Amino acid sequence: MPSKGRTPSADAESRRAFIRKSLALAAATAAPNALLAPLSATAASGAAAGPSLPWYRRAFRWGQTNITEKDPTRYDIAWWRSYWKRTQVQGVIINAGGIVAYYPSKYPLHRRAEFLGDRDLYGELAKAAHDDGLAVLARMDSNRADAAFFRVHPDWFAVDASGRPYRAGEMYVSCVCSPYYEEYLPSILREIIERSHPEGITDNSWSGLGRGSICYCDNCARKFRDATGLDLPRLKDWNARAYRQWIKWSYARRLEIWDLNNRTTKAAGGPDCLWVGMNSGSVSGQSGSFRDFKEICRRAEIIMLDHQARSDAGGFQDNGNAGKLIHGLLGWDKPIPESMAMYQNGRPTFRLAAKPPAEARLWMLAGFAGGIQPWWHHVGAYHEDRRAYHTAEPVMRWHKANEPYLVNRRPIASVGVVWSQQNTDFFGRDNADELVDAPYRGIMQALIRARIPYVPVHIDHVERDAGALALLILPNVGAMSDAQCATVRRFVERGGGLIATGESSLYDEWGDPRADFALADLFGAHVPADRKGAAGAARRSAGESHTYFRLSPELRARVDGPKVGTEPPISGKRHPVLQGFDETDILPFGGTLAALRLDSGVIVPMTFIPSFPIYPPETAWMREPRTDVPALVLNEPAKGGRVAYLPADLDRRFGRDNLPDHGNLLANLVRWASGGNIPLTVEGAGLVDCHLYRQPGRFILHAVNLTSAGTWRAPVDELIAIGPLRVAVRLPEDVRGRSARLLVAQRKAAVRVRKGWAELELPSLLDHELLVIE
């Protein structure tokens, strides 16, 4: 391309230097006084090094106007520049190419946006952003093309078993194994980089065809055979070797694309010119797209997260969880900007209507609490609903003012909730929402409801993270390899507590059933020899959901199993995990159970009451009021920590049904199995998502108030203040806890230190508070 007297690389170099300077200046002005200066080792050295920090370590606040094909006729660049400034963004994502090009590409098949004409809208915007000192990520949306393209290169597109191309509306889906990804897209990336020198490239749909469809094109058939020696699977069959290998190979192929794109952008734009793709905040979403989150995070310097809004089931807290989960893979010193919809996204979606500000705001704040950075997202460059323009600014300003407390911090939690993408794939299979997501969500909600700080722990990081944790929770983690089971066993042997539910460890890493739980010795519970098939033990079937738990006096099982209900109670004293249920002998359940064989000495505080009719009321009496089917098994091995095994799918039920009894029982189990080792108590009414962090010399509590009429049914349109809340945090050794500041209320709080705990009061909590104890 013409270089106006300078080589593209020299031009790119000076551009990068300018960006570094601008961002360094922005970071410096973000900390107006010494108190606000970042204190962590990484941040402190970064502040000293200043411009040497690359864009992906400095640009925390982002903006994106997702350009429609109509916008070249009406894009008011001056207005958007002022909006960038008002919202304190340090980087922008600008549509460049892919499905349509927003610049005059030299590649004739790279179709220009319908109303683009000869305009270089992308280039104008990239220049404006660079002139304003912003980092630019050129946005691609790469996985489909129009009929004209398809006619020229039909062999670049994915086809089904009968050879028919996969379509997405009018478009054709390109194949990840074809020259489309290997030659065409790299040439587009090079063209964009040479024209405008963006800091990096994002891609909305880089991973191609999802898990639901198998491509049978010649490229796929050949590459699959070369890699595995097998023909492509003809059908989806999780038990077939070819299908399992196809799943693994499909993941590996996406990582090859990730690496190829990064090699391409770095070669064209220098070592900091990253290709950052796009990722989902949902593990199931990542699985459906063959995006191996652990491997991607191992490669990534920054995760651009497409996780725009909540579902009613997951709630705002899902965003805090997503931040912690991804930081657990990526590291806490790397940013995770997240696309946050300023339009009504969810059910229903209205691209051009403003999202209620309280809903948008709480989603942003919940993300901050989990270590996510803001990135406003508007679809289209012209809006008649101008209310959307007022939502982001105050939140982004607050983020800028308090940035040192929001990045480069380490979580403090004694509870680790174990997850595994392999489990989502090979145990969850086509029912991951029920088998994997709902149990995880139930545990997460129970912990948040009880104000117990936790971190998500990838199953392969159990060993790495174990030192900080008192308790691991396996929420129906069915598929576990022998090695993964061994790390959990070691954790317990060293004194760690364990809560496992449902079918945890009952399957190997491929989802093949074992004859018994691999962790049966820890559970003190086994699959009996006569149990027909290991699978499906805890499934709820239609008409069998009117079930209960019977709360037992403390009973110890005999070697041959419990005889609960057929003998008199040993004592009338109940186990501490049943605390708070003194006035009832039963609890509602709603799931089903299979029998277990128990080891000697385990405790069974609850048994199962089978289903009986609900209608008509005359029939609603227990046909079998007592069984010997354990609903909860507590084991205190001679060597090691406390273990609670829940054959009952209490976690899934709480995730689905939201019954307080289930949440309280789960919280009791956490307190018991962790030996009471929980570094935070918060007293006072309301649903509050509490995240604890530390930075050198200080301790941070980020509390998000989720108490609202719209908590479980989006959208929230009104914030409801709660308080006072009485807070007590166990202080780390290097924090003396003399003074505390409330960074939202902007005032100091009186702290009383007692036996290593700092106690203080939050008088009122509207949306969130960032409490800093130094």
Q: Which residues form the interface with Zn ion (CB under 5 A)? A: 175, 177, 215, 217, 220
Taking the complex as a whole, the smallest distance from the CB of residue 152 to Zn ion amounts, in Å, to 17
Q: Are 544 and 592 in contact (CB under 8 A)?
A: yes
Question: Cα–Cα–Cα angle for 316, 294, 410, nearest 5°?
Answer: 60
Tokens standing for residue 208: 């191609």
Q: Which CB atom, from 219 or from 286, has the smaller least distance to Zn ion?
A: 219
Taking the complex as a whole, the smallest distance from the CB of residue 219 to Zn ion amounts, in Å, to 5
Nearest 5°: phi and psi at 634? -110, 135
Q: Which CB atom, from 175 or from 365, has the smaller least distance to Zn ion?
A: 175
Taking the complex as a whole, the smallest distance from the CB of residue 565 to Zn ion amounts, in Å, to 59
Q: Which CB atom, from 30 or from 175, has the smaller least distance to Zn ion?
A: 175
Nearest 5°: phi and psi at 168? -125, 95
Residue with tokens 């009832």: 584
Taking the complex as a whole, the smallest distance from the CB of residue 157 to Zn ion amounts, in Å, to 8
Q: Which CB atom, from 37 or from 221, has the smaller least distance to Zn ion?
A: 221
Q: Which CB atom, from 49 or from 161, has the smaller least distance to Zn ion?
A: 161
Residue with tokens 């997850």: 419
Residue with tokens 């970064």: 46
Q: Which CB atom, from 215 or from 396, has the smaller least distance to Zn ion?
A: 215
Taking the complex as a whole, the smallest distance from the CB of residue 218 to Zn ion amounts, in Å, to 8
β partners of residue 507: 479, 513
DSSP state, residue 183: I
Could you tell me how many residues make up the chain? 774
Nearest 5°: phi and psi at 574? -90, 155
DSSP state, residue 113: P
Taking the complex as a whole, the smallest distance from the CB of residue 174 to Zn ion amounts, in Å, to 9
Taking the complex as a whole, the smallest distance from the CB of residue 242 to Zn ion amounts, in Å, to 15
Taking the complex as a whole, the smallest distance from the CB of residue 215 to Zn ion amounts, in Å, to 3
Q: Which CB atom, from 220 or from 665, has the smaller least distance to Zn ion?
A: 220
Could you tell me the CA-to-CA distances from 5 to 8, 10, 130, 563 in Å, in that order?
9, 10, 20, 89
Taking the complex as a whole, the smallest distance from the CB of residue 299 to Zn ion amounts, in Å, to 24
Distance, CA of 746 to chain centre: 30
Q: Which CB atom, from 161 or from 483, has the smaller least distance to Zn ion?
A: 161
Distance, CA of 609 to chain centre: 36
- Whole-angstrom Cα distance, residue 176 to residue 633? 48
Residue with tokens 């994106």: 64
Q: Find the helix or strand (DSSP H, E) in which 248 lies.
A: helix 241-269
- Whole-angstrom Cα distance, residue 342 to residue 359? 10
Q: Which CB atom, from 216 or from 523, has the smaller least distance to Zn ion?
A: 216
Taking the complex as a whole, the smallest distance from the CB of residue 168 to Zn ion amounts, in Å, to 15
Interacting residues of 481 by C-beta distance below 8 A, sequence separation 6+? 508, 509
Taking the complex as a whole, the smallest distance from the CB of residue 110 to Zn ion amounts, in Å, to 21
In three-state secondary structure terms, 613 is: coil
- Whole-angstrom Cα distance, residue 67 to residue 96? 9
Interacting residues of 25 by C-beta distance below 8 A, sequence separation 6+? 133
Q: Which CB atom, from 219 or from 504, has the smaller least distance to Zn ion?
A: 219
Taking the complex as a whole, the smallest distance from the CB of residue 165 to Zn ion amounts, in Å, to 10
- Whole-angstrom Cα distance, residue 45 to residue 710? 43
Taking the complex as a whole, the smallest distance from the CB of residue 161 to Zn ion amounts, in Å, to 12
Q: Which CB atom, from 157 or from 316, has the smaller least distance to Zn ion?
A: 157
- Whole-angstrom Cα distance, residue 624 to residue 757? 49
Taking the complex as a whole, the smallest distance from the CB of residue 727 to Zn ion amounts, in Å, to 56
Q: Which CB atom, from 220 or from 772, has the smaller least distance to Zn ion?
A: 220
Strands, sheet with 200-203, edge to edge from the N-terminal-most edge strand: 274-277, 200-203, 135-141, 91-98, 62-66, 373-379, 337-341, 305-306, 279-280
Residue with tokens 């961002």: 23
- Whole-angstrom Cα distance, residue 694 to residue 456? 17
Q: Are 139 and 202 in contact (CB under 8 A)?
A: yes
Question: Cα–Cα–Cα angle for 371, 457, 539, nearest 5°?
Answer: 120
Q: Which CB atom, from 233 or from 640, has the smaller least distance to Zn ion?
A: 233
Taking the complex as a whole, the smallest distance from the CB of residue 220 to Zn ion amounts, in Å, to 3
Terminal-residue alpha carbon distance, the chain: 55
Nearest 5°: phi and psi at 385? -90, 90
Q: Which CB atom, from 157 or from 491, has the smaller least distance to Zn ion?
A: 157
Residue with tokens 């990722």: 279
Closest CA to 731 of 760, 762, 761, 699: 699
Q: Which CB atom, from 125 or from 217, has the smaller least distance to Zn ion?
A: 217
